[in-house]
Chain A
Amino acid sequence: MSTINETRPADALRSGDRQADERASATKPLGGIAGWMDDRLGGAKGVSFLAKKVFPDHWSFMLGEIAMYSMIVCLLTGAFLTFWFVPSASQVVYDGSYVPLQGVTMSDAYRSTLGISFDIRGGLLIRQIHHWAALIFVVSVFVHMARVFFTGAFRKPREINWVFGTILSLLACIEGFAGYSLPDDLLSGTGIRAMNGFIQSAPVIGSYLSYFIFGGAFPGEAIIPRLYSAHVLLIPAILVGLFTAHILLVFLHKHTQFPGPGRTNKNVVGYPLLPVYIAKAGGFFFIVFGVIALISAVVTINPIWAYGPYDPSPITAGSQPDWYMGFADGALRLLPGFLEFETFGFTWSMNIFPGSLVLLPLMWTIIGVYPFVEAWVTGDKREHHLLDRPRNAPTRTAIGIAGISMYVVLFLAAGNDLMAIKLHLSINDITQTLRVLFFVAPPIAFWITKRICLSLQRADRQKVLHGRETGTIWRHADGRFEEIHAPLTPDERWVLVQHEAHEPLELTAGKDANGVDSPIAGKERLRAKFSNFYFRDRVAPATPSELEAAHHEHDDHAAVPDGGHEAIEPAGASQERETIKADKQHG
Chain B
Amino acid sequence: MNENDTTDHGTSTSLVPASDAGTERLPASLIRGVDQFENPGLPPHVHRAADDDPAAAKRAERQVATMFGLSMLATLVFLVSYFAIPDEATFFFPGIGIAKTQNVVLGLSLGFAIFLIGIGAVHWAKTLMSDEEIVEERHEQASTPEQRAKAVAVVNEGVASTQLNRRPLLKYSLGGALGLFALPLGLQVAGSLGPTNIEELKHTIWDPKDNGGKPIRLMRDPEMTPIRFDEVTFGSVFHVMPETLQKYIDEGKHVLEAKAKAAVILIRLDPDLIKVQKAKDWGVDGAVAYSKICTHVGCAVGLYEQQTHHLLCPCHQSTFDLTEDCAVIFGPAKRPLPQLKITVDDAGYLVAPSGFAEPVGPSFWERAR
Contact = CB atoms under 8 A, between A and B. Distances in A.
Given A212-B193, A290-B111, A319-B299, A2 B37 contact: no
B44 A572 contact: yes
A220 B36 CA distance: 70
A297 B119 contact: no
Contacts, number: 485
Interface in B222-247: 222, 239, 241
Contact of A511 (B5, B15, B196, B369): B5
A309 B313 CA distance: 19
Given A513-B10, A544-B37, A122 B102 contact: yes
A423 B194 CA distance: 46
Contact of B299 (A194, A431, A493): A194
Residue among A2, A222, A252, A279 facing the most chain B CB atoms (10 A cut-off): A279
Given A201-B364, A217-B197, A509 B43 contact: no
A545 interface: yes
B214 interface: no
Interface stretch (A146-154, A265-273, A475-483): A265-273
Contacts of B32: 500, 582, 584-585
A278 B297 CA distance: 50
Contacts of B362: 196-197, 200-201, 349, 352
B136 A268 contact: yes
Given A193-B297, A216-B195, A491-B43, A297 B106 contact: yes
B36 A544 contact: yes
B47 A284 contact: no
Residue among B121, B201, B303 facing the most chain A CB atoms (10 A cut-off): B121
B193 A9 contact: no
A91 B106 CA distance: 32
Residue among B117, B190, B197 facing the most chain A CB atoms (10 A cut-off): B117
B9 interface: yes
Interface in B66-119: 82, 87-88, 93, 96, 99-100, 102-108, 110-119
B181 interface: no
Contacts of A379: 15, 27-29
A513 B18 CA distance: 22
Nearest to B330: A428
A13 B120 CA distance: 20
Contacts of A428: 330
A556 interface: no
B4 interface: yes
Interface in B1-48: 1-2, 4-5, 7-22, 27-33, 35-45, 47
Query: Interface residues of B: mostly helix, strand, loop or mixed?
Result: loop
Interface in A1-24: 1-2, 4, 6, 8-10, 12-13
Interface string A495-517: 00110101111111111110000
A268 B138 contact: yes
B252 to A, nearest CB: 6
A207 B29 CA distance: 53
B196 to A, nearest CB: 4
Nearest to A575: B44
B138 A333 contact: no
Minimum-distance CB pairs A-B, first 8 = A297-B107, A290-B115, A197-B297, A283-B121, A286-B118, A262-B42, A293-B111, A287-B118
A223 to B, nearest CB: 10
A261 B43 contact: yes
A61 interface: no
A585 B35 CA distance: 15
A518 B39 contact: no
9 contacts: A219-B260, A267-B135, A267-B137, A283-B125, A494-B37, A511-B5, A524-B13, A577-B41, A584-B32
B328 interface: yes
A1 B135 contact: yes
Given A97-B87, A125-B110, A218-B257, A298 B35 contact: no
Residue among B15, B20, B252, B333 facing the most chain A CB atoms (10 A cut-off): B15
B53 A276 contact: no
Interface stretch (A235-243, A334-342, A358-366, A388-396): A334-342
A506 B193 contact: no
Interface stretch (A169-177, A436-444, A450-458, A526-534): A526-534
A575 to B, nearest CB: 7
Interface residues of A, number: 173
Contact of A506 (B18, B106, B128, B195): B18
Contact of B136 (A54, A197, A577): A54
Contacts of B221: 313
A280 B39 contact: no
Contacts of B99: 298
A543 B35 contact: yes
Interface of B: 1-2, 4-5, 7-22, 27-33, 35-45, 47, 50-54, 56-58, 82, 87-88, 93, 96, 99-100, 102-108, 110-122, 124-126, 128-138, 140-141, 190, 193-198, 200-201, 221-222, 239, 241, 252, 254-257, 259-260, 263, 292-293, 296-303, 314-318, 328, 330-335, 361-369
B6 to A, nearest CB: 9
B51 A9 contact: yes
A214 B252 CA distance: 19
Given A253-B141, A381-B27, A279 B314 contact: no
Contacts of B134: 4, 52, 54, 269-272
Contact of B315 (A194, A267, A272, A531): A194
A294 B112 contact: yes
A208 B39 contact: no
B121 A580 contact: no
A347 B365 contact: yes
A10 B14 contact: no
Given A218-B260, A333-B316, A294 B334 contact: no
A528 B122 CA distance: 50
A314 B110 contact: no
Nearest to A428: B330
A275 interface: yes
Interface in A298-324: 298-299, 310-319
Contacts of B363: 200-201, 340, 347, 349, 352
B28 A502 contact: yes
Nearest to B259: A312
B296 A352 contact: yes
Given A200-B365, A509-B9, 12 more contacts: A4-B132, A13-B54, A122-B102, A279-B129, A283-B118, A289-B118, A351-B296, A431-B317, A498-B37, A503-B20, A503-B31, A572-B44
B15 A296 contact: no
B47 to A, nearest CB: 7
A53 B137 CA distance: 11
A282 interface: yes
Contacts of A216: 194-195, 197, 257
B198 A280 contact: no
A579 interface: yes
Contacts of A506: 1-2, 15-18, 21
B92 to A, nearest CB: 13
Contacts of B113: 290
Interface string A548-562: 000000000000000
